[in-house]
Structure 1
Amino acid sequence: MVDQTLSYTRTADLPLFERPPVREVSMALQFKQLELRAVDLGRLRELLRDRYPEVEERAPAPLQMENFARGHRLGMQFQFALMERPPIPMVIFTSADRSSLVQVQGDRFACAWRRTDGVDYPQYSSLREVFVQNVVSFNNFVEETCGADIKVSQAEISYVNEIPTPDGVRPDALGSAVPLPYSGKNLVQPEVSAVSVSQRITFRTRDAGGGVDYARLHIEAEPVAADHESGLRLSLLYRGEPYERDRHSPGLAPLMGFFDEGHDQIVRGFAANTTEEAHQLWGRIA
């Protein structure tokens, strides 16, 4: 049974949509490279087989880390682990309906959901519960195999929204909030046919001494075309150092608090960057 201190309470004023255009959701941890061998993953497969019977392998991906160091250029960096032996592959465990997966490599663990036929977005609280169950199982596996807990360095939660636009409709939900490219007394105002947006928002602790940066929200929007239909892909990713705000309380509870804060910021960023007309289509009820 999951510790009740890990339960989720939705923020009262958080926007809520009945039919959000969510395509994918991911919750992930990054940590110090584990002393795992490929053969060790057989045990993990047995632990996950009932819920995730499908398995595939890929090359491990480099970590994308937020750089908060003072005196350095702010932004994101890629990190490649230096090891004496080849890294274990990235292993992806997938549910039978292909909507849910667990992704493991030597320095990263992730749980993800993706929209498939007949599977609607299950809301954050359900995805969060699944993540807690899986990360507890994974940490137990690491303790049993490596004799140590995972040492989380950064965590991230991301949402990808795909917003279809029928023929004759402006192919984005952002246009009314973005100024036209130019204006003039004798010029015909052009119609905005596509809008791309990129934002990065950094969050800082509220320490008496001035605080430190610990998380960053990335908002990216761009027009896309799939299956001969136009649309907008709106991606929001919240990533940072989950224990920076509470240095004396390591463990799962502050980690989940970081995810909850990230989800709040993503939902607010999504609502702020889309139009009221779009909100009506998605059934906004709060």
Structure 2
Amino acid sequence: MRPHNRAGDESSIFPITQAWPLPYLNFTREDDRGTLGFQSDRFVVSWSFSEGVNDYPGFDALAQDLESKLDQFIATVRRETGQEVSFSGSECVYRNAITEVSGEELAVGVLTRWSGMSSVTALHTQYAGVRMHFCTDEDMEGCSVTLSVDVDDDGPSLTLDSERDLEVDEQLPLGGLQVAHDQLIRKFLEYTSDAMQKRWERQ
């Protein structure tokens, strides 16, 4: 299922014609670290870090959890409505707070692939941000990635948002989530520093 309608896409009510729209439902663990959300056009499993706690389950475990919960959802829809859930693609998003560098250093580091840091010390900006969109790489057909650098009250952050669109009649597990994740990791390795990669590998 597409996590959200893109501009120009037709909106539809799922699963019964002329039914009331399904509201977005979000269920959160007691520790506020894991959430499950779904609506007519999205099904989302997410995970958040807590300060001082380092027990990220990893992509594979989260994907298995998503598959298990999605199977239950599909079975419920089929049982209650007689309708089948269809997939149009998948989306994988990583957002990381960056505490070891400033927003300016992060923006310049990403744009230069960490080769032009000597010029950053002269910058005195109120805000630094970057948006980069990558279309399909070779052997990653149907996949695109948006990389964002932002600065807010919590400091600078780096977000990688990877999407995999399915062709008509194309079928991939979880709508191609593994492909979207592989492409995200490829861009992560291209646009982060060695220190960041070592730090997040430990997580």
Common fold: TM-score over 0.5: yes
Deviations 1:199-249 (A, max 9, x none): 11122787xxxxxx62221111122222xxxx321111111323x3x946x
- Counterpart selection for 1:232 from 133, 156, 166: 156
Residues 1-16 of structure 1 mapped to structure 2, 5 A cutoff: none
Higher-Rg member (1/2): 1
Q: Which protein has the bigger helix share?
A: 2
SS in structure 1 of the partner of residue 135 of structure 2: strand
Amino acid of the residue matched to residue 260 of structure 1?
A: Q
- Structure 1 distance, partners of 2:72, 2:57, is 22
* TM-score, with length taken from structure 2: 0.76
Residues 6-45 of structure 1 mapped to structure 2, 5 A cutoff: 29-30=1-2
Residues 28-67 of structure 1 mapped to structure 2, 5 A cutoff: 29-30=1-2, 63-65=4-6
Q: What is the Cα deviation at residue 103 of structure 1? A: 0.8
Q: Which residue of 2 aligns with 1:191?
A: 122
Q: What is the Cα deviation at residue 92 of structure 1? A: 1.1
Residues 115-194 of structure 1 mapped to structure 2, 5 A cutoff: 115-117=49-51, 118=53, 120-165=55-100, 169-171=101-103, 172-178=105-111, 191-192=122-123
Q: What is the Cα deviation at residue 174 of structure 1? A: 4.3
Q: Which protein has the bigger strand share?
A: 1
Amino acid of the residue matched to residue 160 of structure 2?
A: L
Structure 1: where are the runs of 5+ without partners? 1-28, 32-62, 66-76, 180-187, 207-212
Q: Which residue of 2 aligns with 1:218?
A: 146
Contact 2:102 2:156 in 1 (8 A): no
Distance 1:170 1:82, change over 3 A: closer
Q: What is the Cα deviation at residue 192 of structure 1? A: 3.7
SS in structure 2 of the partner of residue 203 of structure 1: coil
Q: How many residues align?
A: 188
- Structure 1 distance, partners of 2:71, 2:197, is 36
Distance 1:154 1:178, change over 3 A: closer
- Counterpart selection for 1:100 from 23, 34, 37: 34
Distance 1:143 1:156, change over 3 A: same
Contact 1:217 1:239 in 2 (8 A): yes
Contact 1:214 1:240 in 2 (8 A): yes
Q: What is the Cα deviation at residue 136 of structure 1? A: 0.8
Distance 1:247 1:87, change over 3 A: closer
Amino acid of the residue matched to residue 158 of structure 2?
A: L
Deviations 1:82-115 (A, max 9, x none): 5545412111122222211211212221111122
* TM-score, with length taken from structure 1: 0.56
Q: What is the Cα deviation at residue 140 of structure 1? A: 0.7
- Structure 2 distance, partners of 1:136, 1:283, is 30
Q: Which residue of 2 aligns with 1:46?
A: none
Contact 1:99 1:119 in 2 (8 A): no
Structure 2: where are the runs of 5+ without partners? 113-118
Distance 1:141 1:195, change over 3 A: same
Amino acid of the residue matched to residue 218 of structure 1?
A: T
Distance 1:240 1:78, change over 3 A: farther
Superposition RMSD on alpha carbons, in Å? 3.2
- Structure 1 distance, partners of 2:163, 2:50, is 26
- Structure 1 distance, partners of 2:188, 2:21, is 37
Kindly indicate whether structure 1 or structure 2 has the higher relative contact order, using CA contacts under 8 Å at least 6 residues apart.
Answer: 1
Deviations 1:150-185 (A, max 9, x none): 0112221111111124xxx53343434546xxxxxx
- Structure 1 distance, partners of 2:201, 2:123, is 25
